[in-house]
Structure 1
Amino acid sequence: MSRAERVREAFTGGRGARWHPTDALVRGVGLGVGMVVLGALLHRVELVLLGAPLLVSTLVALVSPVGGTPSVRVRALPRIGEVGSTRATVELDGGEGAELMAVRLPDGREEGVGPVHLLPASAGAVTVALRRDTWGQGAALRPDHLVAGPDGLLVHGPVTAPELGRTTLPPVRPLPAGLLPARPLGLVGAHRARRPGDSVELRDIRAFQPGDRLRRVDWRVSLRAGALHVREHHAEADADVLLALDTRLDVTAEVADWTATGRAVTVRPGGSLDLAVTAAASLAAGYLRQGDRVALADLGRPQLGVRAGVGRRQLLRLRTGLVRCARSAGWAPKPVLHVPHGALVVVLSPFLDAPVVELTVHAARRGNAVLAVDVLPGPLTPDPETPWGPGAARIVELEHEVRLEAMRRHGVVVVRWDGGGAPLAGALRLAARPGRRVVR
């Protein structure tokens, strides 16, 4: 016996793989025979008249041909989809002599495997609606079934079917791309790479350093400054955008829920991780639409990141990677981030601890343009069960504001994400202006 068969037998009590009689069959035969025999012994015709039809109908149902192995197959089930409703086809085969089938199917009104539906065995195929109102991984369909023969005297099952999961991608909201200098379309992408290169587009004029070529010397600036200065140009390559997702914390506006454990889902709806994933998916779609290279980094588990790429397939990989990172979310003592030179770094975090702030500032000190997206839900609601609730919530808010201000002083663009995208869009427009590096 295979492992799958042992698991199925454990769920069904060893009865799911064959046809077996029900209690109605035992009662019909026993009661029919008993009433006929008792009526004959007591010479009571009414007992015979009551028991004989019951016995005859039971025997007729037994002689009806019942056999085969009923099966329920699911086809046209998308493994990856968007938030909302979709449809799948379930093929029903009740076997020979089957009359009814009880199948667990979704009804399209709520998430999950759905209630049990009573269908005729000749239904053939049924189209079911699958609904998912939240992103992430979850059970989409589990077609448990029970097949009944004539008069329900013989049944096959119940059979616990394997659970079919479905990945619902995070929603994408339209956002304008910003924080990167534009370049003409048709070259590489819509934005220039921030790292130096050999193109004709001027990036900066700086002091001469050992190793610089003499043909790059700007003699006009050098004569005016009294020292050698060289021209630095942009590289002819796609701009790199790194989305750094902080999965170490997932908090809501209810401070009392921050220490709650034993939840059935990893991501709390409306929590910081939910907001961060939505913002990351929206930013990725905006920059990929402009032809830029976008990568994903998990600050808590670097091995779950997604390499930089372009195009629609990259957006699908990034959204799937966001779901994978959220599924493995959990506390890590020290965030890890490897920043490529010249890339735009977008850190999405509630910024409730010092290590993630230090990591963000360090990326800015290396010369990268850094955007800190604050996803802490607010305003915070104090714990009503303790007199220290308002004071504790106020301390958290003050410490949080101190961390944000420290990042602003180091040239990090700080913006708050409230789920709507409007503040982030405004910050991108302001930050794209020359000489504008601090957004409050």
Structure 2
Amino acid sequence: MTGRWRPTPALARAVVVGALAVVTSVIGAAPAVMVLGAPFVVLACFGLLHRPDSSPSVRAMLDHRWLHEGQGTTSRLVLDEDDDVEHVARLMAPTPYIALHPPTGLAAGLTHAPPTIEIGPRRWGRRALGEEQVCLTAPWAGYRWGPVRLPGETLRVLPQTRRFDSRADTPRPVGLVGVNRSPRLGAGVEFADIRPFRPGDRLRRISWRVSVRSRELHVTTSPAEEDSGVLLVVDALGDHGSSDGLDGTASSLDQGVRAAAAVAEHHIRTGDRVGLRVVGGDGGLLGYGAGTRHLRCLLDVLAGVRAGELPRGVVDRLQLRVTGGSVVFVFSPMLGQAIVTATASLVQRGLPVVVVDTLPPGVSPMVPDGVDPRLAELAWRMRKLERDQVLAGLAALGCPVIAWRGAGTLDDVLRRLSRRRGVPQVVAR
């Protein structure tokens, strides 16, 4: 961004006062006036002598453009042709969910150490920083360049992945390799059973202690280690409650996005294949994948989630299209009929489905202008009673419904689903 040099009020004041002092002292023969006006004369002379003739330009640059909630970065100024610049000042406008240091957004410094502003995003999403005003000053404060406006930079803030470490196996592992114990025997590392030797068994599997006692060759068996397909479904049909950032209260969408990010990181770290489906808003679909790069893509999709209703035609035929052998985690406050119907259909197909309740406790509805608050409160209570019936109906179908509590939240549920996989079930076709 470029501008032009202008005389400062200080220089104009020094020129006027110095000239008046010189004229008065000469005409009125008053040396004392000259002595009093000497500092202004000196300031005016040095200011005019350092009149700048360069054309500086300035731009802002961020150290990082991709951050997680709670992390921070620094905004730095890059000056070009700054030979005539002595002092730099900048002011950044505050924006929601962005913490600044200094808190006022005002920073100043000399040319050899341009002022920096530390930035800390407090909520996931695409965050636009406020516009800046930058002002440059020549030596002796004689001339000022600007202030000029710099457009706000854009940050991509990924949801925070609080450490989630489940010790339970993921139900229905179907892949070729992973860390989950399969119901089938294979080349694993954990002990399963001891049986008589059969042609084709590996010699390293022979249990010599049992073979010597029984006088027949016996081998040890192990369960195969396989990976699972995990589908994360995030309900973005609405955002209930208020969001105050990372350190404050969380809305239902905050709970869902952060919980989905934590579960995704855990399963990808253990070698499972994870997919994502966003229901509502702008939507979002990410196929199954594994590895650090896939996790980054998944967090990027979660950072772009926006709350919004589905078109009427889409609501009536909403289908999650889950393949067999997958485990489905639904992160939803269960207040939309479309997501409830889609979840119930998956449970009736016999798929392992876990509903993570993301509705914050004690949430109250937003009361529009002109609406009686008592009437709005009564409607909200009735809606919550309907929601309780929906959750009870899902539980009756065999779908566990739990509230997100961080690490260890899904352990007991996954163990029960793992035990259920060996029980014969009636599946609706």
State the TM-score bracket (shorter-chain normalisation).
Answer: 0.7 to 0.9
Question: Given residue 165 of structure 1, which amino acid in structure 2 is its aligned partner?
Answer: T
1:376 to 347, 359, 383: 359
Structure 1 match to 2:296: 316
Distance 1:369 1:434 in 2: 9
Aligned alpha-carbon RMSD (Å):
3.8
Once superposed, which parts of structure 1, at least 4 consecutive aligned residues long, lie more than 6 Å away? Answer: 382-385
1:118 lines up with 2:108 in the alignment: yes
Contact 1:350 1:374 in 2 (8 A): yes
Counterpart mapping for 1:34-433 below 5 A: 34-64=20-50, 66-72=52-58, 77-88=63-74, 90=76, 92-93=78-79, 95-104=82-91, 111-112=99-100, 114=102, 115-123=105-113, 129-139=118-128, 144-173=133-162, 174-176=164-166, 178-182=169-173, 187-191=176-180, 239-252=228-241, 269-301=249-281, 303-325=283-305, 328-333=306-311, 335=315, 336-342=318-324, 343-381=326-364, 386-388=373-375, 391-417=378-404, 419-433=405-419
Distance 1:272 1:297 in 2: 17
Distance 2:379 2:407 in 1: 29
Q: Deviations over 1:215-251 (max 9, x none)?
A: xxxxxxxxxxxxxxxxxxxxx9853222111111111
Distance 1:50 1:146 in 2: 31
Distance 1:159 1:22 in 2: 15
Query: What percentage of aligned pairs have identical amino acids?
Result: 28
Q: Secondary structure at the match of 2:277?
A: strand
Contact 2:89 2:108 in 1 (8 A): yes
Relative distance call for 1:80 and 1:386 in structure 2 (3 A) is same
Distance 1:239 1:48 in 2: 90
Q: Secondary structure at the match of 2:144?
A: strand
Distance 1:390 1:64 in 2: 69
Distance 2:360 2:366 in 1: 15
Question: Given residue 247 of structure 1, which amino acid in structure 2 is its aligned partner?
Answer: A
Q: Secondary structure at the match of 1:308?
A: strand
Contact 2:236 2:253 in 1 (8 A): yes
Q: CA deviation at 1:42?
A: 3.7
Distance 1:84 1:381 in 2: 27
Q: Secondary structure at the match of 2:159?
A: coil
Structure 1 match to 2:190: none
Relative distance call for 1:390 and 1:73 in structure 2 (3 A) is closer
Q: Deviations over 1:177-236 (max 9, x none)?
A: 65513579xx43345999xxxx999xxxxxxxxxxxxxxxxxxxxxxxxxxxxxxxxxx9
For these two proteins, the number of residue pairs brought into alignment is 368
Distance 1:97 1:146 in 2: 13
Distance 2:48 2:381 in 1: 75
Q: Secondary structure at the match of 1:166?
A: strand
Question: Given residue 425 of structure 1, which amino acid in structure 2 is its aligned partner?
Answer: D
Q: CA deviation at 1:349?
A: 1.0
Distance 1:289 1:422 in 2: 16
TM-score (norm 1): 0.71
Distance 1:95 1:310 in 2: 49
Q: CA deviation at 1:372?
A: 1.6
Contact 2:67 2:157 in 1 (8 A): yes
Q: Deviations over 1:376-408 (max 9, x none)?
A: 111345899844566444323211111112222
Distance 1:314 1:353 in 2: 29
1:28 lines up with 2:14 in the alignment: yes
Contact 1:84 1:131 in 2 (8 A): yes
Relative distance call for 1:104 and 1:178 in structure 2 (3 A) is farther
Contact 1:193 1:239 in 2 (8 A): no
Distance 1:76 1:52 in 2: 46
Distance 2:281 2:131 in 1: 32
Question: Given residue 122 of structure 1, which amino acid in structure 2 is its aligned partner?
Answer: H
Question: Given residue 107 of structure 2, which amino acid in structure 1 is its aligned partner?
Answer: H
TM-score (norm 2): 0.73
Relative distance call for 1:337 and 1:79 in structure 2 (3 A) is farther
Distance 1:391 1:373 in 2: 26
Distance 2:160 2:39 in 1: 63
Question: Given residue 383 of structure 2, which amino acid in structure 1 is its aligned partner?
Answer: V
Question: Given residue 160 of structure 1, which amino acid in structure 2 is its aligned partner?
Answer: R
Distance 1:183 1:338 in 2: 20
Contact 1:28 1:58 in 2 (8 A): yes
Q: Which runs of 5+ in 2 are unaligned?
A: 187-224
Q: Which runs of 5+ in 1 are unaligned?
A: 1-7, 9-15, 202-235, 258-262
